[in-house]
């Protein structure tokens, strides 16, 4: 194909590849320093109940990377951090800081919860449980108020290590949420074979909640999840339509720009804690 496009295009592709390679190399390198340089920060997206007044249930911690005044979003660096192994240290930083922040907000409301995203790589880290336990103890937070979000890539290996890890977390009292459900492989058997307490319906479905077929799909998923007695969260609530649909389907919890965007700590404090 490249040949047919002529010499200039070939050079263009090579340039692009070189650029991408250099970008990855640079990011990989900088990620290693980012923790000591204090460049990571957490934003928190409120998780609301589906009742009429959309009361606050807790938050999801979402990482951001600040360099030179710019805020980099996780989709631009998490994968690179996973490939390079830096995600293990970054993940520890997230666990420690999200649980610390929860302990602070629980001084006002003990019922508040925190959802923390875990990469598949972290589930084979022998130190993960130790990291979580020590953060919970140090900040005097009950395991029941913390939920770990994983995606289906964690199951692709289907390894016993992963199942053991998830079981240990469940036995401790932590929740396990399957994130981004309804995209990718979404094998229903995962719901049977893995110790999951919550399923988060992917935002790509809710963003299309006015489409007839998509509505049916969301309805079908929600019926299935209800009959499995799982907690259901819908993410990507941007419209009143999506909100009404979730109420009809008795989906338990909601996240989305209509209710609140992810906010920094100061903004959360202003909005909910004064």
Q: How far is the CB of 152 from ligand C2E (least distance, A)?
A: 12
Instruction: List binders of ligand C2E among 224-253 (CB under 6 A).
Output: 235-238
Considering beta carbons, is residue 78 or 249 the nearer one to Mg ion? 78
Contact stretch for ligand C2E (CB under 6 A) within 3-11, 99-107, 220-228, 254-262: 254-262
Please say which residue, 50 or 117, places its beta carbon nearer to ligand C2E. Answer: 117
Residue 117 is a binding residue for Mg ion (CB under 5 A): yes
Considering the complex, state which of residue 74 and residue 195 has its C-beta at the smaller distance from ligand C2E.
74
DSSP state string for the chain: -HHHH-HHHHHHHHHHHHHHHHHHHHHHHHHHHHTTTT-EEEEEEEEEESSTT--EEEEEEEEEEEETTEEE-GGGTHHHHHHHSTHHHHHHHHHHHHHHHHHHHHTT-TT-EEEEE--GGGGG-TTHHHHHHHHHHHTT--GGGEEEEE-GGGGSS--HHHHHHHHHHHHHT-EEEEEEETBS---THHHHHS---EEEEPHHHHTTTTSHHHHHHHHHHHHHHHHTT-EEEE----SHHHHHHHHHTT-SEE-BTTTB--B-HHHHHHHH--
Nearer of residues 81 and 136 to ligand C2E, judged by Cβ: 81
Q: Of the two residues 145 and 260, which places its CB atom closer to ligand C2E in the complex?
A: 260
Site for ligand C2E contains 257 (CB under 6 A)? yes
Per-residue binder mask for ligand C2E (CB under 6 A), 2-41, x = binder: ----------------------------------------
- Of residues 155-184, which lie at the interface with Mg ion (CB under 5 A)? 179-180
Binding site for ligand C2E (CB under 6 A): 45, 61-63, 73-75, 78, 94, 117-119, 149, 179-180, 203, 235-238, 255-257, 262
Binding site for Mg ion (CB under 5 A): 117, 149, 179-180
């Amino acid at each position: 194909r490249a040949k047919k496009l002529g010499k200039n295009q070939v050079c263009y592709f090579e340039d692009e590849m070189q650029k991408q390679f250099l970008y990855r190399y640079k990011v990989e390198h900088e990620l290693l320093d980012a923790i000591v340089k204090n460049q990571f920060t957490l934003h928190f997206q409120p998780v609301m109940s589906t009742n009429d007044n959309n009361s606050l249930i807790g938050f999801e911690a979402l990482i951001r990377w600040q360099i030179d005044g710019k805020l980099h979003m996780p989709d631009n660096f998490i994968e690179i951090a996973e490939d390079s192994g830096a995600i293990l240290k970054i993940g520890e930083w997230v666990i420690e800081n999200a649980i610390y922040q929860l302990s602070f907000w629980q001084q006002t409301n003990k019922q508040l919860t925190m959802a923390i995203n875990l990469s598949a790589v972290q589930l084979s880290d022998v130190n993960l449980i130790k990291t979580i336990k020590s953060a919970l103890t140090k900040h005097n937070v009950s395991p029941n108020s913390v939920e770990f979000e994983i995606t289906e890539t964690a199951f692709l290996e289907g390894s016993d290590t992963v199942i053991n890890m998830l079981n240990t977390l469940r036995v401790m009292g932590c929740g396990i949420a399957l994130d981004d459900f309804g995209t990718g492989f979404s094998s229903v058997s995962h719901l049977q074979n893995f110790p999951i307490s919550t399923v988060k319906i992917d935002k790509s479905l809710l963003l299309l909640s006015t489409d007839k077929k998509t509505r049916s799909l969301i309805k079908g998923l929600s019926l299935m999840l209800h009959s499995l007695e799982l907690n259901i969260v819908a993410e990507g609530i941007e419209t009143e339509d999506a909100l009404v649909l979730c109420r009809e389907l008795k989906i338990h919890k909601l996240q989305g720009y209509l209710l609140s965007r992810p906010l920094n700590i100061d903004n959360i404090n202003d909005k909910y804690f004064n």
